[in-house]
Amino acid sequence: MMNIIFASTIPKDQHDAVRNASHFRRWLERTRTAFQLRSVHVRDVGMFGRRVGFIFVEAEALHDGQVLPEYAFLRGDSASILVVLKCPGLPDRTVLTCEARLPIGKADLLSLPAGMVDDGSFDSTALRELGEEIGTDLHVREEQLIHLATTWTSPGGCDEAISLFAAEMEASPELIRSLEGRRTGNKAEHEFIEVRVMALDDIPKIGMTDAKTLLSYALYRHEHPARS
């Protein structure tokens, strides 16, 4: 068993939690399989309550005899969902979250509902986040999910892979009106979300957003072109 070194600033009671965290174990297994891994130094850990969140590691690893860049930010995998609301006589609609994002210094980022995969699957995570961030009155079942792609978000520095899903559902004008401006989010996790409803084909016009939102739209429209 490789010796995993922890920075002195990380409490000892967190060491086993990090070793057993699913995203840490997954990264360690991948890295051992792909490279000659000599050492792992856990530099910092961000806890989400009692759950291990972000992990910053420094690793000594070689590939074909060459030393690799040593730093990695481990946050685990995630899933997102593009919901296409179909209402007779209206253009396709979708729902986005409007949320403050500290890392980019933006108070009103519009993006798709998404969240981290904990102990479930990509599919169940997408449905869970739809319920938490938009509302449980959007009745999407697992068999309705359209898998668009699974992709790395930033492989030069981060371990995260995200699965992009879409789902189509019939929606009444009343449901669409009830969604606009709805306040949601898990306040225990400091989530404060406002739901926005917009025409699906307005996504490219919303300004700077994240990759999952634009990529999901592009992949969905590639398979389901807009009707002229």
Under DSSP, is residue 50 helix (H, G, I), strand (E, B) or coil? coil
Task: Judge if 67 and 83 occupy the same domain.
Answer: no
Predicted pLDDT at 228: 60
Rounded-to-integer distance, Cα 43 and Cα 98, Å: 33
Residue 228 maps to a domain: no
Q: How many structural domains is the chain composed of?
A: 2
Task: Judge if 97 and 169 occupy the same domain.
Answer: yes
Q: Looking at the predicted structure, is the pLDDT value of residue 220 above 80?
A: yes
This prediction has a pTM of: 0.93
Domain region containing 31: 4-74
Asked if 138 contacts 53 with a C-beta cutoff of 8 angstroms, the reply is no
Pairing of strands 66-67, 114-116: unpaired
Task: Judge if 118 and 202 occupy the same domain.
Answer: yes
Task: Judge if 216 and 155 occupy the same domain.
Answer: yes
pLDDT band at residue 189 using 50, 70 and 90 as cut-offs = confident
Boundary residue ending a domain (34, 51, 74): 74
Residue pLDDT, tens place only, 105-147: 999 999 999 999 987 799 999 999 999 999 999 999 999 999 9
Task: Judge if 43 and 60 occupy the same domain.
Answer: yes
Asked if 166 contacts 216 with a C-beta cutoff of 8 angstroms, the reply is yes
Predicted pLDDT at 153: 97
